[in-house]
C-alpha cells in the first residue's frame, strides 16, 4: 500500500510499504478514505519529537472497515467510521477515568519526558513515534486500529468525510480546552494560536455559550480565517510585542483579564535540542512566551488550558504569578473519546461546521508538499486533507 513515511527531520515520503494485518482480536483494518496533517505531526517532522526509525505518520483519519478481529462485534466490513487519535483499551483505570491518552495497556513501555522527580507510564497515539507506542498511523491507504470495539465511531452516510474528519482530533481537542476552562456561559475566552486547533477551540467556545471569543496569532491570514470560520475577534502578535497583546486583552475585559486562556500554539521546534540517548527533548534556555502570555492575560482565579504540545520542562515558569493570581492550569492530550459523541451530535444537528478551515486538498503522493507548506505556513495554508486513493 501507499503510506506517508517519516525518514528523519524534514524527510517524509509517500512509500510502498506492507499492508497492515490484524494482530489482536480487538483490531480492525481500516481502508482510509480521508486523512489530515496536524500541528502535532509538525513536531515529529521538524525533529522536535524524535523518531529514530522510519514510521507511518498520521493520527487524523477515517474510512471504511475492511477486516475485523474476532472480538469486534460492534463493527462489520463496510462500516464507515472516524477514529479518535489516542489508542485506548477502554477498560483500565485511566480509560475508566475518561483519560484515554493515558491508557495503561496501549503503551506499557512508555515513560514520559523527564523533568519531574519520577516519570510515569502510559499513553499511545496513532503514528506518533516510538515514545507514544510505535503504532503506524493513518496517512496511508490502510491502518490497523487496535481496540476497535472502543474507539471508532460510526458516521451517517449523509455527512461527507470532510464534514466529520476533524472529530478524530482537532475538534475534540479544541473542545477539551474549553471544557477544561469550565466555560458555562458568558465568559471571555482568549485563545492563543489561530491554527486548526485554536479555531476549533473558538468554535467550541461559542457552542458552550461564551460571551466573547478573542484569538491571537502572529499571522494575519490565520486571524482572517478565525474570523471567517469562528467569528473570533483577532489580535495580531507582532514580533516581540507580547506586552501589547496582554494589554489589549486586559483593555477588552475591563482591566481584569480573560476568564479563560487557551494555549493552542505549542513549543517551537526550531529552538529544541534533542537528547536522543534519553529520548527526551530539552528546550534551549529561554521561555515559551505563549504560556507566559496566557498567565498574564488570564484574570485572577481564571483558567489556563494548555492544548499545545510541550515535551519537556522549562525553567522560567511563572510560578509566582500562578500562585498570586490563583490560576487553575490544565493541559495534556485531549480526551477525544470523552467528547466525540457529543460533538458528532453537534455536527449531525448542523450546530457547527468543521470543514470550512480546509485550505488544501492533496493526493497522498504529494505528502511532502503538504507538510512543507503547512510547516512554513505558505499559500495561506490552514489545514491540509489528503486522499490516499487519488
Ligand atoms: P499550527 O502550527 O497550524 O498552529 C499554531 C498557530 O500558532 C499558528 O497559526 C502560528 O502562527 C501560531 N503562533 C505561533 N507563535 C505564536 C504566538 N507567539 N502567539 C500566538 N500564536 C502564535 O498547529 P495546530 O494544528 O493548530 O496545533 C497547535 C498545537 O496544538 C500544536 O502544538 C499541536 O501539537 C497541538 N495539539 C495538541 C493536541 C492535544 O491533544 N493536546 C491535539 C492536537 C494538536
Ligand atoms: Zn493532532
Ligand atoms: Zn486503557
| Domain residue ranges of the chain, discontinuous segments joined by + | 2-169+334-387, 170-331
Stated pTM of the model: 0.95
The reply to whether CATH 3.40.640.10 applies to domain 170-331 is no
Please, which residues have CB within 8 angstroms of residue 254's CB and are 6 or more apart in sequence? none
User: Tens digits of per-residue pLDDT, 95-105?
Assistant: 999 999 999 89
Burial bucket for residue 323 (CB in 10 Å: 0-12, 13-18, 19+): exposed
pLDDT of residue 48: 79
Choose one of 281, 308, 340 to mutate for the ligand 1 pocket test, by most ligand atoms within 8 angstroms of C-beta: 308
| Cell representation of residue 44 | 515529529
Least confident residue range of 35-49, 218-232, 303-317: 303-317
Chain length of the chain = 390
CA-nearest residue, atom 27 of ligand 1: 39
Determine the Cα–Cα distance for residues 288 and 110; give it in Å rounded to an integer.
25
Distance CA 235, CA 244 (A): 10
What is the structure's pLDDT at 280?
39
CA distances for 61 relative to 38, 80, 164, angstroms: 11, 11, 10
Q: Is 57 helix (H, G, I), strand (E, B) or coil?
A: coil
- Between CA 154 and CA 114 the distance in angstroms is 38
Q: Which atom of ligand 1 is nearest to the CA of 237?
A: 19
Share of the chain above pLDDT 90, in %: 80
Mean pLDDT of 147-171: 98
Query: Which ligand 1 atom is the nearest neighbour of the CA of 306?
Result: 41
Mean of the per-residue pLDDT values of the chain: 91
Residue 54, Cβ density class (10 Å: 0-12 exposed, 13-18 middle, ≥19 buried): middle
Is it the case that residue 145 has pLDDT exceeding 60?
yes
The CATH class, in words, for 2-169+334-387 is alpha beta
Q: How far is CA 346 from CA 179, 203, 352, in A?
A: 15, 11, 6
Confidence of residue 113 (pLDDT cuts 50, 70, 90): low
Q: Which atom of ligand 1 is nearest to the CA of 101?
A: 40
* Residues facing residue 86 across a β-bridge: 125
ipTM exceeds 0.95, yes or no: yes
Dig out the grid coordinates for 213 from the structure: 471569543
Ligand lying closest to the C-alpha of residue 122: 3
Average pLDDT rounded to a whole number, residues 332-343: 97
DSSP letter string, 8-21: STT-EEEEE-PPP-
CA of 363 to the centre of ligand 3 (A): 34
Please check the confidence at residue 121 and state whether its pLDDT lies above 70: no
Rounded CA separation 213/294 (Å): 14
For range 203-212, the mean pLDDT: 98
Name the pLDDT band for 118 (thresholds 50, 70, 90).
Answer: low
Which residues have C-beta atoms less than 6 Å from ligand 1? 38-40, 42-43, 169-170, 173, 192-198, 216-219, 222, 237, 264-266, 289-290, 307-309, 333-334
Largest CA distance in the chain: 60
State residue 310's pLDDT score: 82
Cα–ligand 3 centroid distance for 92 (angstroms)? 4
What is the grid cell recorded at 202? 473558538
**Out of 27-36, 178-187, 262-271, which region has the weakest mean confidence (pLDDT)?**
262-271
Pocket test for ligand 1, best of 37, 38, 39 (most atoms within 8 A of CB): 39
User: Residue 271 — very low, low, confident or very high, per pLDDT cuts 50/70/90?
Assistant: very low
* Mean local confidence (pLDDT), 83-109: 93
Amino acid at each position: 500500500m501507499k503510506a506517508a513515511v517519516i525518514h528523519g527531520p524534514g524527510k517524509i515520503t509517500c512509500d510502498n510499504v506492507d499492508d497492515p494485518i490484524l494482530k489482536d482480536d480487538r483490531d480492525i483494518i481500516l481502508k482510509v478514505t480521508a486523512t489530515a496533517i496536524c500541528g502535532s505531526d509538525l513536531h515529529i517532522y521538524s525533529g522536535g519529537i524524535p523518531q529514530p526509525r522510519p514510521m507511518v505518520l498520521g493520527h487524523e483519519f477515517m474510512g471504511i472497515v475492511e477486516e475485523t478481529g474476532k472480538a469486534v462485534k460492534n463493527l462489520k466490513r463496510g462500516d464507515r467510521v472516524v477514529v479518535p487519535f489516542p489508542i485506548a483499551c477502554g477498560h483500565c483505570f485511566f480509560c475508566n477515568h475518561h483519560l484515554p491518552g493515558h491508557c495503561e495497556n496501549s503503551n506499557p513501555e512508555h515513560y514520559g519526558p523527564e523533568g519531574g522527580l519520577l516519570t510515569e507510564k502510559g499513553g499511545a497515539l496513532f503514528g506518533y513515534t516510538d515514545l507514544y507506542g510505535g503504532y503506524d498511523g493513518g496517512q496511508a491507504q490502510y491502518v490497523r486500529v487496535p481496540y476497535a470495539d472502543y474507539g471508532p465511531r460510526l458516521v451517517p452516510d449523509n455527512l461527507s468525510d470532510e464534514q466529520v474528519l476533524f472529530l478524530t482530533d482537532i475538534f475534540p481537542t479544541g473542545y477539551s480546552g474549553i471544557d477544561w476552562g469550565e466555560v458555562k456561559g458568558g465568559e471571555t475566552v482568549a485563545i492563543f494560536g489561530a491554527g486548526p486547533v485554536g479555531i476549533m477551540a473558538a468554535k467550541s467556545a461559542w457552542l458552550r455559550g461564551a460571551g466573547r471569543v478573542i484569538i491571537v496569532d502572529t499571522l494575519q491570514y490565520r486571524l482572517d480565517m478565525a474570523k471567517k470560520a469562528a467569528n473570533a475577534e483577532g489580535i495580531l502578535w507582532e514580533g516581540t510585542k507580547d506586552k501589547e497583546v496582554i494589554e489589549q486583552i486586559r483593555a477588552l475585559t475591563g482591566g481584569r483579564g480573560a476568564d479563560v486562556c487557551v494555549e493552542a500554539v505549542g513549543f517551537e521546534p526550531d529552538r529544541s535540542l534533542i537528547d536522543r540517548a534519553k529520548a527526551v527533548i530539552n528546550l534551549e534556555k529561554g521561555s515559551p512566551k505563549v504560556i507566559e502570555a496566557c498567565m498574564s492575560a488570564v484574570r485572577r482565579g481564571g483558567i489556563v488550558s494548555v492544548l499545545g504540545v510541550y515535551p519537556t520542562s522549562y525553567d522560567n515558569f511563572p510560578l509566582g504569578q500562578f500562585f498570586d493570581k490563583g490560576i487553575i492550569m490544565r493541559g495534556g492530550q485531549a480526551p477525544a473519546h470523552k467528547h466525540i459523541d457529543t460533538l458528532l451530535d453537534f455536527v449531525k444537528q448542523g450546530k457547527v461546521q468543521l470543514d470550512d478551515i480546509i485550505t488544501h486538498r492533496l493526493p497522498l503522493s504529494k505528502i511532502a508538499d503538504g507538510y512543507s507548506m503547512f510547516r512554513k505556513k505558505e499559500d495561506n495554508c490552514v489545514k491540509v486533507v489528503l486522499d490516499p486513493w487519488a
